[in-house]
Structure 1
Amino acid sequence: MHDTTGHHTKESGRRAWWVAAVAGVAIIVAGAFSTMPGILQDPLRQEFHWSRGSIGLAASVNMVLYGLTAPYAAALMDRFGIRRVVIAALGTVAAGAALTTVMNAAWQFTLFWGFLVGLGTGSLSMTLGTTVTNRWFTTHRGLVTGILSSGSVLGQMVFLPALAWIIARYDWRPALVSLAAAALAITPLIYLILRDHPADRGQRPYGSDTFIPRPEPVPGAARRTLTVLRHAARTFPFWMLAGTFAICGASTNGIMWTHFTPAAHDHGMPVTTASTLLAFIGVFNVVGTIASGWLTDRMDARRLLAVCFLLRGLLLVGLPLTMAATVNAPMVVFVVAFGLLDLATVPPVIALCRTFYGEDSAIVFGWTNAAHQIGAASASFLGGVTRDTFGSYNPVWLALGAACAAAALLSTVIRHHPTASNEADQKVYATSATRSDR
């Protein structure tokens, strides 16, 4: 079978996977930035005498902007193309990391790391993976989504032990310079391989029976992003997805990537050991996210979401019992299980966005991801404040375990398919979407 333009189906498939792979590399590098506040806490407190709350504030700003940037980045990709947006984002994170090395005040950490790195990584978030998947694949979307979603954690797994070693042996500044260099190093690869649409190569999306012409650039990216939000906010599924994803953010990168290492250190565990455990969570995260994507192609996404939240909540409640100065069997069990569940919520949420919001699903997912990051930012900041106030992270683990139980219940009421009971909601979105300025 041949494409309309005469290219072979196999060539189309190869190109789609290459594009996905290069997008994954960008996501991996961006993911390396997310765990830095956790391993920077002790060096910054020793050098500048900042409180955990001050450091957590910069991490919170970073997480909020990471989330708020994502939907606009999706619209900008429709306007200017994926490749241009990714290259600009890599330059932004490199600049933010480099400027952080010359800071001498907490507000500068918030500006350079919170704002610049937050804006850049937000453009390289899971929204990038969603956009690439929607354009380049019509089959195996759940699997591809799972693979790309795992990229951010893979970045943590690849870079975190090395960054912790650099900080322990040299200083925290060389670690940030290394991150900036990595972001700049992959820019030529993005330019040479990443393409905005299969039609740019005269090919069809992987698994498609028909050639799909490249759509015209969509003007008014900011206006469109807000328009899609306004229309989606009138529907019941959006609020259920945003609520559960906010809890997801609080119970994963919000608390784990910022406070797991300091929490383990409170129990006498060396920072390098705790960082290595966090990296191993990333190893199993890759497996869990890909498996979740495979399951999303085959089962009700709501049920998968509920199971992930319920099991995650149980693990967080039991975490204080596993903490120790050395690695023990319960801690190994936690690392493996939490890793499998950490990002396993992403493929079903993306699938539900696609079910309800069609071609706007990348932007809608971007807004739900903003809720994810707001939840993460809240946990990052409040986790530090709780530690400063009570001298322990135990209240945080218990509160987040209870929140995950609530998210499991919310997941069951997300309507997976349009039914008579939510027909009005669907009609509102479908009607308003056709009137949006695209």
Structure 2
Amino acid sequence: MVQIRVTESPGKRPPVRTRVHRAWLVVGVAALAIVAAGAFTTMAGLLVGPLHREFGWSRSTIGSGASVNMVLYGLTAPFAAALMDRFGMRRVVGGALAAVATGALFTTVMTEPWQFALAWGVLVGTGCGSMAMAFAATVTDRWFVRRRGLVTGALTAAGVFGQFAFLPLLSWIVDRYEWRAGAVTLVVAALVALPLVLLLLRDSPTDVGLRPYGAAEHAARASRERSAAVPGKAGPRTVHVLAGSARTGPFWLLAGTFAICGASTNGVMWTHFTPAAHDHGMPATLASSLLATIGVFNVAGTVASGWLTDRLDPRRLLAAYYALRGLTLLALPLLLSAHIGAPLVAFVVLFGLLDVATVPPTLALCRELYGKDSSIVFGWVAAAHQLGAGLAAFAGGATRDVFGSYNPLWVGVGAQCAAGALLALMIVRPRAAA
């Protein structure tokens, strides 16, 4: 906590005290790590064409490597949340940044598909998964009592910012120099973030003698008690939390909706939009710029969604998001062409506002339903998100190989979003929260 005190002579105004809570510095450092991780998530779409041309691998083979990345990205999240309880956020996130840098560097010397699955799938996937939404949930739960929805939206937006900020640069580098130069750029980004995380990230307010932002004294005591009662083993605790939450209906509804979320965003848009637009004659750099523009509106949509989650029923927000997203995806095959028209710009704006807006209400429901275990439960729900993304990434490549077009993919995923809207309305909230 930074304190500035001004003392005046007797008879004048009382002392003025200005405080900036340390929680906001932690959010800034966490956002930096999430930005670095987000830069890796869009690179797979830029690798499809170059790897196909250089090595002769089929699109479904490349999609399989991307699927390994997405599935491990999701499966890592709940274990990473438990490891942060045991070893601290700083150590886990520092190790994750080292892992993604190593994986991206190894990718530049690979020659076989299994090496791509190992480097990009395993190392990059597990590293990015450790800095994903469960990390944002852990930071929010430990450091904040008030403004949780807003902070969740901001940290989620940081990952999207990493995607759209790096995507045009990476696309330009791949086009001008080749794909290996793009991978090395990601290595540099991870290594720049690593020392800042090790120096500035703190695991909890108790480490610096503070209470969480917006907490009363009794809430601060409860936070200290939770910090002191860290379980001995992260793995068994993670599995135990899964076993307990899996016995409840809301867990499966949340996991189902988030699997549809992953399929309709990371799985199809961030992996297959660029090659799909290229099939219609659009240059890959221009298509990547459209994805970057989607990322710009992601930030606005996610922050706004966090603000709305603090005020409205998160179930109805989710239903509205999924329904609108499904309509946009159903319309996409009619909008793609070699040039950018007004209808395609409207799609970019609307899809961008909806793309990651589902995260704050989903996390809010996990927090309401599962309390102190909410970060780990959300990690498992996020694993379903990445499982859906991985299946959709593979299905997209297979669809293109079989039908020669991505159009059936957009229609199928759009229909899934309609189902996601119905599932969201079936979730029963705790009576007190409702």
For normalisation by structure 2, the TM-score amounts to: 0.93
Q: How high is the sequence identity, in percent, across the aligned residues?
A: 61
2:205 to 186, 190, 198: 198
- Report the 3-state secondary structure (helix = DSSP H, G, I; strand = E; otherwise coil) of the residue aligned with 1:273: helix
Q: Is the 8 A contact 1:249 1:375 kept in 2?
A: yes
Q: Distance in 2 between matches of 1:9 and 1:343?
A: 38
In structure 2, relative to structure 1, the CA distance for the partners of 1:10 and 1:72 (3 Å cut) is farther
- Counterpart in 2 of 1:21? 28
Residues 181-192 of structure 1 correspond to what in structure 2 (within 5 A)? 181-192=188-199
Residues 177-256 of structure 1 correspond to what in structure 2 (within 5 A)? 177-210=184-217, 211-212=220-221, 213=224, 214-256=227-269
- Counterpart in 2 of 1:100? 107
Q: Distance in 2 between matches of 1:139 and 1:74?
A: 21
Report whether the alignment pairs 1:368 with 2:381. Answer: yes
Report whether the alignment pairs 1:36 with 2:49. Answer: no
Question: Shift of the alpha carbon at 1:282?
Answer: 0.4
- Report the 3-state secondary structure (helix = DSSP H, G, I; strand = E; otherwise coil) of the residue aligned with 2:215: coil
- Counterpart in 2 of 1:432? none
AA of the residue aligned to 1:382: A
Report whether the alignment pairs 1:164 with 2:176. Answer: no
- Counterpart in 2 of 1:423? none
Tell me the number of residue pairs that the alignment of Structure 1 and Structure 2 aligns. Answer: 415
In structure 2, relative to structure 1, the CA distance for the partners of 1:129 and 1:170 (3 Å cut) is same
Q: Distance in 2 between matches of 1:418 and 1:230?
A: 24
AA of the residue aligned to 1:391: G
Q: Is the 8 A contact 1:301 1:416 kept in 2?
A: no
- Report the 3-state secondary structure (helix = DSSP H, G, I; strand = E; otherwise coil) of the residue aligned with 2:312: coil
- Counterpart in 1 of 2:402? 389
Q: Distance in 1 between matches of 2:300 and 2:373?
A: 28
Report whether the alignment pairs 1:279 with 2:292. Answer: yes
AA of the residue aligned to 2:154: I
AA of the residue aligned to 1:252: T
Q: Is the 8 A contact 1:249 1:376 kept in 2?
A: yes
- Report the 3-state secondary structure (helix = DSSP H, G, I; strand = E; otherwise coil) of the residue aligned with 1:89: helix
Q: Is the 8 A contact 1:316 1:397 kept in 2?
A: yes
AA of the residue aligned to 1:319: L
Q: Distance in 2 between matches of 1:236 and 1:360?
A: 16
AA of the residue aligned to 2:43: M
Moved over 6 A (4+): none
AA of the residue aligned to 1:256: M
In structure 2, relative to structure 1, the CA distance for the partners of 1:9 and 1:408 (3 Å cut) is farther
Q: Distance in 2 between matches of 1:61 and 1:406?
A: 26
Residues 70-109 of structure 1 correspond to what in structure 2 (within 5 A)? 70-109=77-116
Residues 321-332 of structure 1 correspond to what in structure 2 (within 5 A)? 321-332=334-345
- Counterpart in 2 of 1:296? 309
Q: Distance in 1 between matches of 2:149 and 2:286?
A: 34
Report whether the alignment pairs 1:268 with 2:314. Answer: no
Residues 48-59 of structure 1 correspond to what in structure 2 (within 5 A)? 48-59=55-66
- Counterpart in 1 of 2:12? none
| Structure 1 stretch displaced more, 190-199 or 307-316 | 190-199
Report whether the alignment pairs 1:47 with 2:54. Answer: yes
Unaligned segments of structure 2, at least 5 residues: 4-15
AA of the residue aligned to 1:201: V
Question: Shift of the alpha carbon at 1:23?
Answer: 0.3
Q: Distance in 1 between matches of 2:102 and 2:157?
A: 25
* RMSD of equivalent CA atoms: 1.7
AA of the residue aligned to 2:404: G
Deviations 1:345-370 (A, max 9, x none): 00000000000000100000000000
AA of the residue aligned to 1:275: S
Deviations 1:318-337 (A, max 9, x none): 00111010111011001100
- Counterpart in 2 of 1:176? 183
AA of the residue aligned to 1:196: D
- Report the 3-state secondary structure (helix = DSSP H, G, I; strand = E; otherwise coil) of the residue aligned with 2:185: helix
- Counterpart in 2 of 1:407? 420
AA of the residue aligned to 1:81: G
Question: Shift of the alpha carbon at 1:174?
Answer: 1.0
In structure 2, relative to structure 1, the CA distance for the partners of 1:257 and 1:280 (3 Å cut) is same
- Counterpart in 1 of 2:6? none
Question: Shift of the alpha carbon at 1:418?
Answer: 4.1
Q: Distance in 1 between matches of 2:380 and 2:345?
A: 34
Q: Distance in 2 between matches of 1:418 and 1:281?
A: 37
Report whether the alignment pairs 1:359 with 2:372. Answer: yes
Question: Shift of the alpha carbon at 1:215?
Answer: 2.5
- Report the 3-state secondary structure (helix = DSSP H, G, I; strand = E; otherwise coil) of the residue aligned with 2:21: helix
- Counterpart in 2 of 1:129? 136
Q: Distance in 2 between matches of 1:416 and 1:322?
A: 39
In structure 2, relative to structure 1, the CA distance for the partners of 1:10 and 1:399 (3 Å cut) is farther
Q: Distance in 2 between matches of 1:215 and 1:306?
A: 39
- Counterpart in 1 of 2:13? none
For normalisation by structure 1, the TM-score amounts to: 0.93
- Counterpart in 2 of 1:116? 123
Unaligned segments of structure 1, at least 5 residues: 420-438
- Counterpart in 2 of 1:152? 159
- Report the 3-state secondary structure (helix = DSSP H, G, I; strand = E; otherwise coil) of the residue aligned with 1:203: coil
Q: Distance in 2 between matches of 1:380 and 1:106?
A: 16
Question: Shift of the alpha carbon at 1:59?
Answer: 0.4
Q: Distance in 1 between matches of 2:18 and 2:207?
A: 17
- Report the 3-state secondary structure (helix = DSSP H, G, I; strand = E; otherwise coil) of the residue aligned with 2:333: helix
